[in-house]
Amino acid sequence: MRLPSRSLPLGTDNNMEEKIGLFGGTFNPIHIGHLRVAQEVLENFELDKIIFIPSALPPHKQTHLMTDIEDRLEMIRLSIQNCPESEVSDVELRRSGRSYTIDTVRHFKSVLPDANLYFIIGMDAFLEIDAWKSYQDLFSLISFIVMARPGTGDKIDRVMLENYLQTRISEEYRFSTSDMAYVHPEKQPVFGINVRPLDISSSAVRELIRQNKSVRFLVPQAVEKFIKNKGLFYGEKQ
Ligand code: ATP
């Protein structure tokens, strides 16, 4: 889907600027679900690039079970080594303390002032966004691309998403059929996309490893090898 120019974020007046997707997550570990949905977003929104951003200390996850960020970064690097449109950022590793998306987005806005930035997020995570630090500012700063995810429906429920935006973020969000997005007079648009439903999660991958089962074809081969060599996730408690 080519985004009509009027649906681009505020301040955009032509289609020549780079369109960059910021894909944040714990990636503990990265799996085929992450990679495939990123590919579909890249193609459908005609992005120039997707930057994977593993969080160092995610505020909403149990950090004592978190694999070292260096290892999570390396598994992303191994996964995208043949994908010229993908990059990985260690920005959250370089910042001390908790990882807040608002700080990451501000960082990319300052280093990429001319790019159109989109924050890529699965529906499960999006439905908890009103618990994130400075989430109102986030909606003013960056457009969102919300991906359907099994567990929260194989397809985006347009009414449910609109209801969530209106009750939890701002009642002025409206679905615009011409923009194919939820638009707001002051905030950035929110796009939805029905990616191919892939019921794969990092927790399912970790659980298989704990049970001494194979994760072949759920993670890239190089990641499977890395996990084995480093003995990651074995014997981990839930
Ligand atoms: P865990 O099982 O540990 O909670 P996860 O598989 O959800 O991990 P994250 O790294 O937390 O992986 O996810 C990063 C982002 O990718 C989130 O926005 C999440 O919704 C999205 N995502 C992950 N897997 C999928 C998938 N299979 N389909 C669509 N979105 C996904």
Per-residue model confidence as pLDDT tens digits over 63-94: 566 789 999 999 999 999 999 999 999 999 88
Give residue 47's pLDDT band: very low, low, confident or very high (50, 70, 90): very high
Pocket test for ligand 1, best of 39, 67, 149, 152 (most atoms within 8 A of CB): 149
- Going through the chain in order, the beta strands assigned E by DSSP cover 19-25, 49-54, 86-88, 116-122, 143-147, 174-176, 181-183, 190-193
Checking if the pLDDT of 62 tops 70, the result is no
Quote the ligand 1 centre to 28 CA distance (angstroms).
9
**Rounded mean pLDDT of the chain?**
90
Ligand 1, CB cutoff 6 Å, lining residues: 25-28, 33-34, 37, 121-122, 124-125, 147, 149, 195, 198, 200-203
Q: How confident is the model at residue 58 (pLDDT cuts 50, 70, 90)?
A: low
| Residue with CA closest to ligand 1 atom 21 | 122
Domains delineated in the chain: 2-198 (3.40.50.620)
User: Is the pLDDT score of 36 beyond 60?
Assistant: yes
**Residue to substitute in 202, 209, 210, 236 for testing ligand 1 pocket (most ligand atoms within 8 angstroms of CB):** 202
Structure confidence at residue 106 (pLDDT): 97
**CB of 194 within 8 A of CB of 156?**
yes
Q: If you measure from the C-alpha of residue 195 to the centroid of ligand 1, how many angstroms do you get, rounded to a whole number?
A: 13
Distance of CA 202 from the midpoint of ligand 1 (Å): 7
Q: What is the pTM of this model?
A: 0.92
Report, as an integer, the average pLDDT of 206-228. 97
pLDDT of residue 179: 84
Query: Quick one: pLDDT at residue 8?
Result: 41
Give tens-digit pLDDT for 91-120.
998 887 788 999 999 999 999 999 999 999
* Helices marked H in 48-167: 69-79, 91-94, 101-111, 123-126, 135-141, 158-164
pLDDT attached to residue 66 = 76
